[in-house]
Copies of this chain bind each other. A is one copy, B any other.
Amino acid sequence: MKAMMLRSFGGPESFELCDAPQPSPAAGEVLVRVHATSINPLDYQVRRGDYADFVPLPAITGHDVSGVVEAVGPGVTTFSPGDEVWYTPQIFAGPGSYAEYHVAAESIVGKKPPTLSHLEAACVPLVGGTAWEALVVRAGLRVGESVLIHGGAGGVGHVAIQLAKAIGARVYTTVREANFEFAQSLGADGVIDYRKEDYVDAILRETGGRGVDVVFDTIGGDALSRSPDALAQLGRVVTIVDIAQPQNVIQAWGKNASYHFVFTRQNRGKLDELSTLVERGQLRPHVGAVYPLADIPLAHTQLETPNNGVRGKIAIAVAPAAP
């Protein structure tokens, strides 16, 4: 099978398209014909070597699958050949999704929502699972609360806006001016152009000085230290961008704030919740660009470029003609 192989840690040129042996499903596993995958910041962090200790080389990486079950191993009861599925491969445990075939444990695989194309479906598992983990599981965002979502036009951000709206929260988000209408189309109640107005000022103005209940940090920078200024008492910050630089969090005590640090966990169980939202019309991923498997290095370059113009996600069409 064709696979995009990471030969060494480094830039996008570290990838090489090659022929790799097609895997076989063991007991409890399914073999999936990958129709599409997508690109996440985690992907280029892995490529750069940020997690070198957990990724033996050469490696097939990639963290999203939408495809069709080709065969099942002994004991598999939930899936049959021909089923459309979506999932995030087990993180740092075996090959990823940049390949024509992928094998996964039955327990981490979900049924793909039929109303999404494979390209759309491949854009959801990692970012959708992350947004669910952050807003629902960790921050406990509730109906009637307010949330500031940083980077609302991005991969996680554009799903988080829709999820927060589905929860019944009031949603503020930061975007560049070019993405104003995109953010509004996703349901954002208040859109802040962070290059024109300080977001803390904007939040305090919009909330009458109270602040929001939850800040979702998808961008890093100084969000950890500044977030308390935009928070209400007992507000929560949830962050998915790990930063080694020391952070001044002195304002967190005065707000009785809670910080939830989120690193990707397996999304088992969340896929069916996300599927329900898709079926109800409350969640739809936005495919901002599509590349073929062979052009994954180009896709990485685009995602890593600041102000890359991509809205939502970059999808990768793996099957010759992804339906």
Contact = CB atoms under 8 A, between A and B. Distances in A.
A210 interface: no
A53 to B, nearest CB: 11
Contact of A261 (B244, B259, B261, B265): B259
Interface stretch (A246-254, A279-287, A300-308, A312-320): A246-254
Interface string A247-273: 111101111111111110100000000
A283 to B, nearest CB: 23
A255 B224 CA distance: 17
B255 A258 contact: no
Sorted nearest first, the 8 A-B pairs with minimum C-beta distance are: A246-B246, A252-B261, A242-B253, A259-B259, A253-B263, A244-B250, A246-B248, A253-B261
A136 interface: no
**Residue among A242, A257, A261 with the most chain B CB within 10 A?**
A261
B256 A259 contact: no
Contact of A249 (B261, B262, B265): B261
Contacts of A262: 253, 256
Contact of A247 (B239, B240, B246, B258): B246
A258 B256 contact: no
A258 B261 contact: yes
A254 B91 CA distance: 13
A143 interface: no
Contacts of A57: none
A243 interface: yes
A176 interface: no
A26 B264 CA distance: 56
Interface in A227-247: 239-240, 242-247
A2 interface: no
A111 interface: no
Interface in A148-177: none
A251 to B, nearest CB: 9
B246 A256 contact: no
A138 interface: yes
Contacts of A246: 225, 246-248
Contacts of A244: 248, 250
Nearest to A233: B265
A268 to B, nearest CB: 15
A267 to B, nearest CB: 13
Contact of A258 (B138, B224, B250): B138
Nearest to A258: B260
Contacts of A224: 249
A258 B263 CA distance: 11
Contacts of A243: 249-250
A258 B259 CA distance: 6
Nearest to A248: B246
Interface string A49-90: 000000000000000000000000000000000000000000
11 contacts: A239-B253, A242-B254, A246-B248, A247-B249, A249-B261, A252-B259, A253-B261, A255-B261, A256-B261, A256-B263, A258-B260
